[in-house]
Structure 1
Amino acid sequence: MTASNNDNSFSLRCFVWGDDPLKPFTVRVSPDLDVQEFLLEVKRTYESLRDDKLAHVTLYRIEAAREELANLDAPSRGSPNKLAFMDPLRVYWPEPQEISWDRVQVLVQADIIRTCVPSSTVHTEKRELNNPTEDDQNRELIERFRKSRASYCNALTRCSASAAAKPNEFLRQQQGQNYMLNGRPRQHTGPPLVLYHPVFGNFLSNLQSSDPLCPQFYEHIFGYLWDSQKVYEDEVENGQASDRDASGLEQLLGKLLKSGVAPDAVATASDGGYCLIVEMKNEIGTGGSDPSIQAAQSYSRVWQTSRLLDRCCCPTILIAIAGPWMCILGAVFLDRPVIQPLTDYLWVGINPSKPQEIHYVARVFHCILEARRELETYYDDLTSKDINNFPAQPFIFPHPTHFIDGNGQQVKFTYVMPLDIPSPDVVSQLKRSESQITPNKPIYVAKLRNSGLPIVVKFVESYNSDAHRLLAREGLAPALLYDGTAHANDQLGPNHHMIVMEHVNGVDLGHYVGPILPPCVSANIEHALSLLHDADIVFGDLRPPNIMLVKDGDGTITGAKLIDFDWCGKHRVGR
């Protein structure tokens, strides 16, 4: 592929990741064209050749033969090959005459919006809540959940927990369809555990408590610390170490049960339900696996056969121990297990350089004890209920189902479905497991129980409710119905809050497919930004997905509203 004799323009072959590998396409460019303009040309060229649209487009420089396209790995957002908007193309292709005509130079990562199929199949689009296909979508969601969970559970019979925790076997699992969501690798990270059961938020909040612990508890702590610092020669003695550790843990946490080959110890409620799961290694590196991964594998297998699996999200505290090191994790079982650390790996011993750490270690053990008691109560209550009274919908939604309105009244709601869940088509294009139904973001469509009014429920780490209310008063943002950041005693944990707002009849700009937008859209956006700037507020995440195009009853676009105030902040103050 060489430059034209008449000008300095040249051609770049482009390929949309996940698309048909036989259909790369060519875009004619000039060296001085910047990447932002090139991106628009890529979209225009692709959409002129297909009936589909591209959204959320990112470009990467590659060098790949056509036969390699089907097996390309997912590009990383932090990849050094990512094209920067302001750069001219000559930065990336300084010698156009050396470009190979039989290879692809640009990898396009984007959501492919299928416009040749009914819009009801595009789950990433934010539709009207009263769409006739809503019930079908909900049934599809439930069916996908059940199939995914069944597929995961069936795969567990392949090997034991200890074998599954070995690095090579764990890598095989995480590269396949039946991976767990434990953050290994990064794209296999699940939603925050605090959304699914209060025990995790309580654990994290209790860690920050300064309430004194009883002296007797400290006596047991010191005894356990001294034992944990002992050194054992090899894994042969690990049984002795496990027995010693279990004995010391029982003084702190209550009776633990030996569970055969895996896990090393468990604590259960009186009528079923796993409250604690413990995995122990003699030292870091002994046993050939990470005890936190083995604890996760044990969690999957003990719950697989539990009669409570279909009644709850199976919340459990995991304790991973390697010699004098310990990590506490939480786990829930959605369509697949979600495992997340609640603490770092802790030195469970005496440290002369940080003598005050003993108080934090003691606090961690006390939090485990409190979590065990909370889960025992939860599971005992769960098993006392008639199974016929359980909802038909699986436990795929967060546990909060009410908020306090401006009059101090409790308002109950029912979740309908995640707002940002990929459809099977989109999932396939992104090369994720087609069975995974975990939402990309913790944002949900719901309905008020008393009126059926549609609402949006989202869970955030931070939120600028002042900015939201400022624009809502002018009709430039959805009405804010509940601000969890203002309710210190009604939070999911120390780092998460619930936000409830009205549901907007429309579609976000990132998923808009249609004619040129009316002037009222840009006018509304400019007015909204002007109001925020006058209040010395910066809207830190102004992107197409955060601009809602408002539609009237006939589907005509009548304006725009800003959403997502997570990154709003005072100028020179917010971070």
Structure 2
Amino acid sequence: MSNSSNHRFHLNCFIQGDPTTDIFHVRVSPTWKTQDLIQEIYRVYNSELGFGRELVLKKTRISLYQVDVAPHELAKIETLPENHLMQRIDQLKDYWPDPEKISHRRIQVLISVEGQDSMAKGFRAAPSMSTAAYHPRFKQQQENSNIPIYNGRPYERTSIPIQLFHPAFDFFTTELEKSDELIEDKCAIVEKLMFGSQALYNTETDRWSAIKGLLIGAVGHPIFKDSISRCQSGGVVTFTEPNSARKAYGAVVELNNEIGTGHSDPWVQSAQSYARYWSQLEMTELRRATRCPTFIISIAGPWMCVSGAVYLDRVVIQPLTDYVWLGNHPQQNRHLVRVTRLFMAISRAVSFLKEYYTPLIKPNAHLSVERYRDSPCITSLAGAINFTYIHRLGDPGIIRPIFEAITEDGRPIVVKFAQVYNLEAHKLLASQSLAPQLLSLDIEPAGGGLIMVVMELIGTSLDNYLDPTGPGLEPSARAQICEDVETALDLLHANNLVFGDLRPPNVLVVQGNNGSLRGRLVDFEWCGVEGEARYPAGMNQSKEIGWAPGAVKGSRLFKEHDRHMLDKLFSTSSVEDAET
């Protein structure tokens, strides 16, 4: 930035989509360029305001617009004035030649945080859905483009469970697992659909003509063609309201005549269709205001898969079922019941989405930008503690839903979603200041088969201290941390518990009251009763970790495993290896 401090003045700024109370100001110089102002906005917003949110420089791109509006007018701004876009090479005096005329009661800079919009622009410019779904083009898109689809192909394109982003997907799974009585009419039409699906057809058009009416009856919602530029899927379920130009997509349907016919997988085709439907310019307002939850129905001959989709700063698609056989058999009544229940779940889940979207697509509905689209939709603990997510914690290359957040009263916390968690073991150590203090009193279901655990945010991972670029540890500090971890393990072992995952990332280094460094254990997902609990099937068995003998996928946990890992963790050679 310029070193000039002459004639400094203040600009009131507002990020589109923030609460209208969160206006902030930055102190600037007339000779600064717009790019300098952008850097100062990042600094002030992240370090001085305490809003509990963060602009991540590497993940977000912001654009600035010169405005002159009162705070009460902010909610009325739906489209940004492109002719007022501030160019990064311009100086601020080009926009405010006379700073003394600036009103401190009005907003001068409106900020747009890009991410999702740039993704949508990319999809609008991309090849057609059918071309993009063709395997060589899809492979290129996933590996070398700016618009990959996070559908798990390859593994690096995997996202955290979509159930954390909207309750409709968990609602679907819950409905699927119900054992209530089947609806007679639904059972009859599903049976007809199954007979129709297992028939053989010459072409995809013939198959679609034969089963479309039956599929509509089974789904319980109209399915229409919605041909847009560069995209024509099998059909969509849309929601509309009278006298409103808005619409929402409840489901996208894609169909191939048989497995292996056509040039691509219908699951990939439907993902491409979803991305293009929601990337349309006319969908911008609703896309910015929601995570765009939609169900995807992919059909290949007599096989069908149901998936869920959300549009964050990336498109995420995840299967909610396997490919299900849509064929009948006279001695397989249970299968007919299963498929009928599947379509009942689809019908009810799409209705769930209709209830969600209806108030948002009414003609007079005001839509606010969803600033936290990349964070889970769960923002309270047992209804008693409300919090706001700041960012995801840990290595971005590791798919773990762990977030830093802040409570309404300003406490920094960690919100963790896990498949299993030994809350009682965590409580046991926390009572002796050997683990972070918990805000969670009980296990709280969070959707997608996950549970939510909330705890205080303290300390730094031991990993950071042992990293070659980290601060390192004095011998006395290392000895104290080792003693604390050993005390924690002794307490667990005395209660017949094994920690199981004693590695540097799961040891926290915190500063004690006297300034000394102390050790804490964190992450109790593997912790369990000795000889009963087992290592997870998905454990990383890399030789670099150096697990204890006998500690392998699916094997039982034993106390000697903890002792082996403790010796390895704090051995002189381990520390020397980390420092070299």
TM-score (norm 2): 0.68
Partner residue in 2 for 1:241: 207
Q: What CA deviation, in whole Å up to 9, does each residue of 1:14-50 have, x standing for no partner?
A: xxxxxxxxxxxxxxxxxxxxxxxxxxxxxxxxxxxxx
For the pair 1:561 / 2:520, whether they are aligned, the reply is yes
Tell me the distance in 2 between the aligned counterparts of 1:463 and 1:356: 35
Per-residue CA deviation, residues 435-484 of structure 1 (Å, 9 max, x unaligned), is: xxxx74211111111x1111111111111111111111111111121256
Displacement, 1:391?
Answer: 5.1
Cα deviation for residue 193 of structure 1 reads 0.5
Q: CA deviation at 1:229?
A: 0.7
Indicate conservation of the 8 Å contact 1:198/1:492, yes or no.
no
1:359 aligns with 2:317: no
What SS class does the counterpart of residue 55 from structure 2 fall into? helix
Q: Residue 417 of structure 1 aligns to a residue in which SS?
A: strand
Superposition deviation, residue 158 in structure 1 = 2.4
CA distance in 2, matches of 1:136, 1:295: 37
Which amino acid is 1:414 matched to? T
Q: Does 1:495 align with 2:495?
A: no
Secondary structure of the residue aligned to 2:358 is helix
SS, match of residue 400 in structure 2: coil
Letter in 1 for 2:139: L
Q: Does 1:161 align with 2:104?
A: no
Q: Is the 8 A contact 2:297 2:304 kept in 1?
A: yes
Secondary structure of the corresponding residue to residue 359 of structure 1: helix
Aligned counterpart, 1:140: 56
Q: Which has the higher relative contact order, 1 or 2, with Cα contacts under 8 A spaced 6 or more apart?
A: 1
Q: Which amino acid aligns with 1:246?
A: K
1:478 aligns with 2:433: no
Q: Which moved more, 1:469-478 or 1:512-521?
A: 512-521
Does the CA-based 8 Å contact 1:310-1:394 persist in structure 2? no
- Secondary structure class of the residue paired with 1:288: coil
Instruction: Determine which of 448, 451, 468 is the counterpart of 2:426.
Output: 468
Alignment of 1:251 with 2:217, yes or no, is yes
**Counterpart residue number, 1:220:** 189
* Residues 53 and 388 in structure 2, CA contact (< 8 A), matched pair in contact too: no
1:566 to 1:483, Cα distance in 2 relative to 1, 3 A:
farther
Read off the aligned partner of 1:324 and give its amino acid letter: P
Deviation at 1:152, TM superposition (A): 2.9
Q: Secondary structure at the match of 1:368?
A: helix
Cα distance, 1:245 vs structure 2: 2.4
Give 3-state SS (helix, strand or coil) of 1:445's partner: strand
Task: Give the paired residue count.
Answer: 419
Residue 407 of structure 2 is aligned to residue 441 of structure 1: no
Structure 1: distance between partners of 2:363 and 2:463 = 45
Going from structure 1 to structure 2, the CA distance change for 1:528 and 1:445 (only over 3 Å counts) comes to same
Instruction: Describe the shift of the 1:470–1:322 C-alpha distance in structure 2 as closer, same or farther (beyond 3 A).
Output: same
Contact 2:266 2:299 in 1 (8 A): yes
Q: Is the 8 A contact 2:53 2:389 kept in 1?
A: no
Could you tell which deviates more after superposition, 149-158 or 385-394?
385-394
Deviation at 1:338, TM superposition (A): 0.7
What whole-Å deviation, never above 9, does each CA across 1:407-435 have from its counterpart, x for those lacking one?
A: xx62211112222264xxxxxxx8xxxxx
In 1, distance between residues paired with 2:210 and 2:267? 19
Give CA deviations for 1:378-418 in whole Å, capped at 9, x if unaligned.
Answer: 111223497766256241110001112xxxx6221111222
Residues 458 and 384 (structure 1 numbering): CA distance in 2 closer, same or farther, change over 3 Å? farther
Correspondence for 1:514 among 471, 475, 479: 471
Alignment of 1:335 with 2:313, yes or no, is: yes
C-alpha spacing 1:134/1:180, structure 2 compared with 1 (3 Å):
farther
- Are positions 1:264 and 2:234 aligned together? yes
| 8 Å CA contact 1:328, 1:343 repeated in 2 | yes
Contact 1:507/1:550 (<8 A) preserved: yes
Is the Cα–Cα contact under 8 Å of residues 205 and 493 in structure 1 kept in the other structure? no
- Partners in 2 of 1:184 and 1:395 — Cα distance? 22
Q: Is the 8 A contact 1:138 1:416 kept in 2?
A: yes
Residue pairs, 1:373-392, within 5 angstroms = 373-384=351-362, 390=368
Q: Is the 8 A contact 2:158 2:399 kept in 1?
A: no
User: What is the match of residue 523 of structure 1?
Assistant: 483
Cα distance, 1:356 vs structure 2: 1.4
Residues in 2 aligned to 1:392 and 1:462: alpha-carbon distance in whole angstroms: 30
CA distance in 1, matches of 2:411, 2:387: 9
CA pair 413-509 structure 1, distance change in 2 beyond 3 A: same
Aligned partner of residue 60 in structure 2, secondary structure: helix
Indicate which of 124, 128, 142 corresponds to 1:174. 142
Change in 2 beyond 3 A, CA 1:144/1:547: farther
Instruction: Map Cα deviations across residues 105-137 of structure 1 (whole Å, 9 max, x no partner).
Output: xxxxxxxxxxxxxxxx9xxxxxxxx96598798
Residues of 2 paired with 1:368 and 1:559: CA distance? Answer: 52
Q: Deviations over 1:527-548 (max 9, x none)?
A: 1111111111111211111111
Alpha-carbon distance change, 532 to 413 in structure 1, aligned in 2, over 3 angstroms? same
Cα deviation, 1:129-168, whole Å, max 9, x if unaligned, reads x965987981236725954434432332221111111111
Distance 1:515 1:394, change over 3 A: closer
Compared CA separation, residues 533 and 224, structure 1 to 2 (3 A): same
Pick closer, same or farther for the CA change 1:355–1:476 going to 2, 3 Å: same
| Aligned residue type for 2:506 | N
Residue number in structure 2 paired with 1:283? 258
Instruction: Tell me how far apart the structure 2 counterparts of residues 263 and 401 of structure 1 sit (CA, whole Å).
Output: 35
Measured at CA, do residues 314 and 374 of structure 1 come closer, stay the same or move farther in structure 2, by a change above 3 Å? same
Counterparts in 2 of 1:393-432, with a 5 A limit?
Answer: 393-404=371-382, 410-420=384-394, 422=396
1:51 is aligned to: none
Alpha-carbon separation, structure 2, partners of 1:447 and 1:559: 24
Q: Which moved more, 1:362-371 or 1:295-304?
A: 362-371
Q: How does 1:10-49 map to 2 (within 5 A)?
A: none
Matches within 5 A, 1:80-91: none
How much does 1:241 deviate? 1.4
Letter aligned with residue 348 of structure 1: L
> How much has 1:493 moved relative to structure 2?
2.7
The offset of 1:352, in angstroms, is 5.5
Separation in 2 of the partners of 1:346 and 1:276? Answer: 18
2:489 alignment partner AA: L
Name the SS of the counterpart of 1:277 in structure 2.
strand
The question of whether the paired residues in 2 share the 8 Å contact of 1:269 and 1:375 is answered with: no
Compared with structure 1, are the counterparts of its residues 315 and 568 closer, same or farther at alpha carbon in structure 2 (3 Å cutoff)?
A: same
d(CA) in 2 for partners of 1:137, 1:346: 42
- How many angstroms apart in 2 are the aligned matches of 1:239 and 1:483? 56
Deviation at 1:240, TM superposition (A): 2.6
Equivalent in the alignment of 1:551: 511
Counterpart CA distance in 1 for 2:441 and 2:341 is 30
Q: Which amino acid aligns with 1:372?
A: V
Counterpart for residue 200 of structure 1:
169
Uncovered stretches (5+) of structure 2, i.e. residues with no partner: 1-38, 40-45, 63-112, 242-246, 535-580
| C-alpha separation in 1, matches of 2:129 and 2:496 | 55
Distance 1:417 1:553 in 2: 28
- 2:150 is paired with a residue whose SS is coil
After superposition, the Cα gap between the structure-2 partners of 1:336 and 1:483, relative to the gap in structure 1 and judged at 3 Å, is farther
- Three-state SS of the structure 2 residue aligned to 1:190 is coil
Give the RMSD, CA atoms, in angstroms: 2.6
Q: Is the 8 A contact 1:483 1:500 kept in 2?
A: no
